[in-house]
Structure 1
């Protein structure tokens, strides 16, 4: 029998020792969580990651989303009611043919996670994302008073053949300024006026596919999904049609850079580890899912895991809250909406300080620093919390970091308090606090101070002025 998250927490001696520990040798880890990577099954590069990065800004890029996201299918008379009662946003007006973000909190108003819900048909939905929300949905579908069937669609550990997997759909994303021309060619004519986050259908490689209109890093595009068994035919058809436009498939190294350009804060530590009211959830939740496999990393050291929790207001999700219906955390969010919230920003690293970090990495016998991975430090399941200071005063945390060839800059997504302004110079305390339990301890490192300029999120001008508008 699989160990529960609650029993694993007891074994580790609490949330902080568990989250600060490495997980690479966990015997109970599911295949898709070994190694601890967000995109473990995608080739690192198809050409060069820097070329792939420029594709969604200058031409057209193809992202393979078939394998790495978890999903849940909900079907039944109470499917819509279930979503409405666990989400801060209102699902009562959802109609087939549209999608919307779902954001879930605990009873105290702290974030559990977010994802995307597709309203496929009457009484039928799918939800995809990092997994925290999908697990939350499954728990309430199985334990709540709902007439609903929930089926988990687990991420796939094998690429590209996937013989061990029978996912219902393959999923591809076409993005970039030339995406519209490619999509029209694939469709054999104009797709029509499809509203943002609305769905349509099109035929690709002889297979009827669904499509969702959205964008990434300011670039227009489409997410398409079709029968899993025809994934290669669909992908080959997109690549063949895209040769005319210089289509560039995107590998795992470049995949998450667009998220940082877009200002998407990947995820915070889910607020499930401490509340006694969530003990039933932790006892239901298998320890070998993401909540038991993530690692808390960075220099911001706290004794209480709740200090790493965040609210929807901190991530600019406050505008999604609808208080006109009952949902988990509603009363707490009403009380907390007047509290000072953090603000999401982008940090542009100082060139000299970034270069000095590389110099440390190249100096034999030098300081024991945390190395910088290029192009992205968000390629693992770590939840990053590096301390940020302004004039010697702690003002928040820096999180996911990447180098983008589009901006020729190292960027970090960060959450800062209300005293920080765009244009301020803050200091990222780049390092690893370490920690863990038993044989699973992660060593601490020296801390390197990196100056960074506070910039808007999204960082990309086109994302701020076009896509986000």
Structure 2
């Protein structure tokens, strides 16, 4: 029996906000071991030594091949593809016709006419839809994450080495000096007798490489990395610690996708997309207007990725937006006394505040808390969690320019009113959490140096 389309699910629920806020689809958890030691120690490793993070299971790969593979990506992506040769990668960003964000993923140029788009399914589905509804001489092979894969292991392993000693670990594992590799470019290594490809980048705002290769080689490569790391303080990081790495580097993992507009492309996409791909919406922002949850690339710091050197979906709208004020991506540092009081309410007669899970407090796939100042809403807080290295609860947010200066005081409205029917939502009352604006990325090294090393 065919699965229900997203369009049909919206029609059944009455509107997309009610459908998403009360969705019974739980947020995906990383299908890897939660902790190898404890998540506090594992967070510390990427600041002080080296953390090894297993990315093999929680991302989806969409392999795109054929003579028109690049043309498809150019038609959908806002990025420039000039000089995008083999062994390069980029953060691929897509928008709808009105210029609002669909999502982002990492695009690897593996071979001539062969690309791998890796990330959450939102933008991968959007690219797949355009391939199937357009005229492109290209094919795709999809390797779903281990949460959704019906059977068998992943096609490739992916290991992330992050931290000050990551280079030393990699050089010891390969037995050779590290080749000069620029940010977001790839190099080949030999580890345990196997060819390994490595992408130079950093998930936690620290120096690092993402290493990948055929799944069959993964265990031998992992053993060699662990052995090499013994002298350099390597710590394996589990799912709990890994889920917070983005808070330091300021990457928003699941921005709300702008797929609910009334244009013909969006309507056709909702008819094509299965309802189970939609995810859920959580947080204190509770507007009946779905567009209040939309973001532009400029709102989340992706303005630098936009290149008007080619035609793409949403170009005209982004050209207009580029001339208009936008929100600014910031880190919000939550007031520790207010957080402590909210957590403490669970130990007093209730109902208390919404449970703040540690270390990641998001309780829906797409999270949207209202950021308040001066009696009104000035932004959206999108992803929140605890940083053991700083002993702080923080969130990534986008706020009006007038409130984006570091040191500005705002308020995060925590919890839902009314309480939604999502499985992770218990009876609770909303709480105001004072917060202070800080830069994004929060870690000073990530803001300046690690891209240039």
Mapped to 2, the partners of 1:434 and 1:251 lie a distance apart of 34
Runs (5+) with no aligned partner, structure 2:
none
Corresponding position of 1:57? 47
Distance 2:227 2:8 in 1: 51
In the aligned structure 2, how far is the partner of 1:210 from the partner of 1:434?
49
Within the alignment, does 1:248 sit opposite 2:235 as a pair?
A: yes
The answer to whether the 8 Å contact 1:385/1:397 transfers is yes
1:433-453 deviation per Cα after TM superposition (whole angstroms, max 9, x unaligned): 34668x989667311111111
The verdict on how the C-alpha distance between 1:441 and 1:259 changes in structure 2, with shifts beyond 3 A counting, is closer
How big is each residue's C-alpha offset from its partner over 1:310-329, in whole Å with a ceiling of 9 and x where there is no partner? 11111111121111210000
Which of these residues, 439, 442, 450, is aligned with residue 459 of structure 1? 442
Aligned partner of 1:375 in structure 2 is: 359
Q: Which residue of 2 aligns with 1:353?
A: 338
1:149 aligned partner: 139
2:252 aligned residue = 265
Between 1:265-274 and 1:340-349, the stretch displaced more is 265-274
- In structure 1, stretches of 5+ residues that fail to align are 25-34
How far, CA to CA, are the matches of 2:408 and 2:437 in structure 1? 5
Aligned match of 2:305: 320
1:428 to 403, 408, 412: 412
- TM-score between the two structures when normalised by the length of structure 1: 0.92
CA shift digits 1:414-443 (9 cap, x unpaired): 111011121011111111134668x98966
CA distance in 1, matches of 2:267, 2:95: 15
Distance 1:444 1:382 in 2: 20
Deviation per residue, 1:326-369 (Å, 9 max, x gap): 00000111122222211111111112111111211221x23332
Matched, 1:5 2:6: yes
Post-superposition, which runs of at least 4 consecutive aligned residues in structure 1 deviate over 6 A? Answer: none
Count of residue correspondences: 449
Q: Per-residue displacement from partner, 1:208-266 (whole Å, max 9, x unpaired)?
A: 11111112333111101011122222212211221121211111111122200111122
Aligned partner (choices 102, 122, 135) of residue 112 of structure 2: 122
RMSD: 1.9
Give the superposition deviation at 1:191.
2.2
Match of 1:235 among 222, 241, 251: 222
In 1, are the aligned partners of 2:167 and 2:178 still within 8 Å (CA)? no
Q: Aligned pair in 2 of structure 1 residues 297, 139: CA closer, same or farther (>3 Å)?
A: same
CA distance in 2, matches of 1:104, 1:154: 20
Deviation at 1:382, TM superposition (A): 2.4
User: Aligned to 1:467, what secondary structure does the other structure show?
Assistant: coil
Counterpart Cα distance in 1 of 2:151 and 2:224? 24
* Candidates 158, 164, 171, aligned match of 1:171: 158
- Using the TM superposition, give the Cα deviation of residue 295 of structure 1 relative to its aligned residue in structure 2, in angstroms: 1.4
TM-score normalised over the length of structure 2: 0.95
Residue from 311, 322, 338 that aligns with 1:337: 322
